[in-house]
Amino acid sequence: MPAALMVAASYFLLLTPPISAFLVGGTSTVLSRGSLSVATSSLQMTATNGARIDQHEETKDDDNYDVVKVDLTDGRDYPIYIGTSFTDEQISETLTSHIHGKQALIITNDKIAPMGFLEKYEKLLAPHKEVHTLVLPDGESNKNLEILQLILDKALEEKLDRKCTLIALGGGVIGDMVGFAAAIYQRGVDFVQIPTTVMAMTDSSVGGKTGVNHPLGKNMVGAFHQPQCVFIDTDSLSTLPDRELQSGIAEIIKYGLIRDRDLFEWLEVNMEKLLNRDPEATRHAVKRSCENKAEVVKADEKEAGVRATLNLGHTFGHAIESGSGYGTWLHGEAVAIGTAMATTMSAQMGWIDNELVKRTYKLLEKAKLPTDLPLDSPMNREIFLKYMAADKKVANGQLRLILLKGALGNCVFTGDFDQEAMIDTIDEFVAECSGAQ
């Protein structure tokens, strides 16, 4: 049996210390391995001991890649392959083992296609499968129903059947749209993620969130649809623009803040290596992020509770993306500002100390990420509140936020926060913006 197939059959077993979670003003519960908390107005995550993730690694001959398992129910588990210097044979064997039908459609964008990635994967799969390709326009502004329609049109034109596999080759925009197309084409077909950005590798390609933007809100039209596998070749990051590299690091910092103290402290020491694309540092950061994401998805696949904590900074950040116009900010840049806002608000309520605020701002700035809005920003209090009111985490008319509480590595998902502190934080961040004058 090929090595890739052996690994696909037996991945890493991910184990973490129990995450304590309790409900404020409600029934107490403990979130341990394999259990899920009840949806509530307030949930607290405590990541003791730096949220160390113990792994059982399957013995294999190849040491150029790792495999992290996303452990789900009903036989839907899937592997995340993370490595460098993959041979053509490794790529071909690994991907074809997850394409169960005869037909495959590789979808990428007009920025990735000229770099040779599309030609490479098409060439490696063509001897084994009937391969079709589609190139879409790049950018967040094209993550909409109109562009999604192009994927469905192509699938129908090529007479792809229910056994086909759609392959997302690109960043978060491509991954989200292709996954959504797979979820709705003929009521659901397989898809594979091949992420090419740090953002996609560490966050969006894992966990099955798919969708497109709507003029009234980001990612408001979509579905949960898990991939057959995620194939991460970190060599592809060599062509990634510096700005997009930095944007993706925002999601890695997030894991450190909400549940993995050790990762945060590692980033404080190794940020320069990440920015310089050091292979070992990159592989470590991507792997650790995927382990964190896989553990949370296992506990709460459809974001009924603990998975919402992965959205630290996103409620503010999505408002910035929508209010500024899609494409003005990269997703990670908006999330970085949102994280600064969530950290500031947490400190205003006395939930974290000022030392953690300083460390958070310092690490974001070390990653060359923005921590405030520019003078020409159109954002103001009204725009923030308009888009935050439409956030997916609103329940029964109540806005819920992910905020930091306690020591590094701890957070809460709650609607029980000081509204004045939120307004004060927004006002502080928009004070000098042109939109607030």
In angstroms, the CA 39 to CA 127 distance is 48
The string of DSSP codes covering 27-76 is ----B-TT--PPP-SEEEEE-GGGG--EEEPPP-S--SEEEEEE--STT-
Quote the tokens at residue 5: 């197939």
Q: Cα 144–150–154 angle (5° rounding)?
A: 155
- What is the separation of C-alpha 53 from the centre of its chain, rounded to a whole number of angstroms? 19
Residue type, 37: S
Q: Which of 209, 254, 261, 287 is catalytic?
A: 209
The answer to whether 435 and 378 have CB atoms below 8 angstroms apart is yes
Query: Is 270 one of the catalytic residues?
Result: no
| Residue 293 annotated among the catalytic residues of the structure | yes
Q: Which of 129, 288, 293, 393 is catalytic?
A: 293
Element (H, E) at 403: strand 401-404
**Interval 202-227 mean pLDDT:** 95
Q: What are the tens digits of pLDDT across the range 327-357? A: 899 999 999 999 999 999 999 999 999 999 9
Mind listing the pLDDT tens digit for each residue in 75-127? 899 999 999 999 999 999 999 999 999 999 999 999 999 999 999 999 999 99
**Catalytically annotated residue among 122, 244, 251, 301:** 251
* pLDDT top residue among 3 and 208: 208
Q: Which of 261, 298, 331, 400 is catalytic?
A: 331
Question: pLDDT tens digit string along 51-65?
Answer: 444 443 444 557 899
Eight-state DSSP code of residue 406: S
In the residue annotation, 76 being an active-site residue is answered as no
Nearest partner of 336 among 361, 309, 357, 299, judged by Cα: 361
Q: CATH 3.40.50.1970: which residues of the chain? A: 65-240
Task: Name the catalytic one among 314, 392, 393, 400.
Answer: 314
**DSSP 8-state secondary structure symbol assigned to residue 4:** H
Q: Judge whether 318 counts as a catalytic residue.
A: yes
**Is 251 designated active site?**
yes
What pLDDT is recorded for position 74? 87
Position 20 confidence tier, pLDDT thresholds 50, 70, 90: very low
For residues 269-292, give the mean pLDDT.
97
Nearest 5°: phi and psi at 11? -90, -165
Q: 31-35, 191-195, 242-246, 353-357: lowest mean pLDDT where?
A: 31-35
Q: Which of 213, 311, 380, 410 is catalytic?
A: 311
pLDDT band at 43, cuts 50/70/90? low
Per cent of the chain over pLDDT 90 is 81
Would you state the pLDDT for residue 345? 98
Mean residue pLDDT of the chain comes to: 88
395-419 pLDDT, tens digit per residue, is 888 999 999 999 999 999 999 999 9
Averaged pLDDT for residues 170-195: 98
- From the list 132, 218, 225, 307, the catalytic residue is 307
119 is catalytic: no
Amino acid identity at 281 = A
Q: Which of 146, 187, 354, 396 is catalytic?
A: 187
Model confidence, pTM? 0.85
Residue 76: both structure tokens together:
């839907």
Query: What gap in Å lies between CA 110 and CA 120, rounded to an integer?
Result: 15
Q: Where in the chain is the domain with CATH 1.20.1090.10?
A: 297-436
Taking each helix axis from N to C terminus, what angle separates 331-348 and 419-430, rounded to the nearest 10 degrees? 130
The per-residue pLDDT for range 263-273, each reduced to its tens digit, is: 999 999 999 99
User: In the CATH hierarchy, which fold is given to the domain comprising 297-436?
Assistant: Dehydroquinate synthase-like, alpha domain (1.20.1090)
- Any catalytic annotation for residue 187? yes
Give yes or no for residue 383 having a pLDDT over 80. yes
pLDDT of residue 83: 96
Q: Could you confirm whether 362 is annotated as catalytic? A: no
Tell me: pLDDT of 194 over 80.
Answer: yes
* Residue 167 confidence (pLDDT): 98
- Beta-strand ranges (E) seen in 89-248 are 103-109, 130-136, 165-170, 190-195, 209-214, 217-224, 230-233
DSSP string, 311-338: GTTHHHHHHHHHHH-TTSS-HHHHHHHH
Is-catalytic flag, 283? no
pLDDT of residue 42: 59
Residue 393 pLDDT level (bands cut at 50, 70, 90): confident
143 with 326: CB under 8 angstroms?
yes
303 flagged as catalytic: yes
Q: What is the CATH number of domain 65-240?
A: 3.40.50.1970
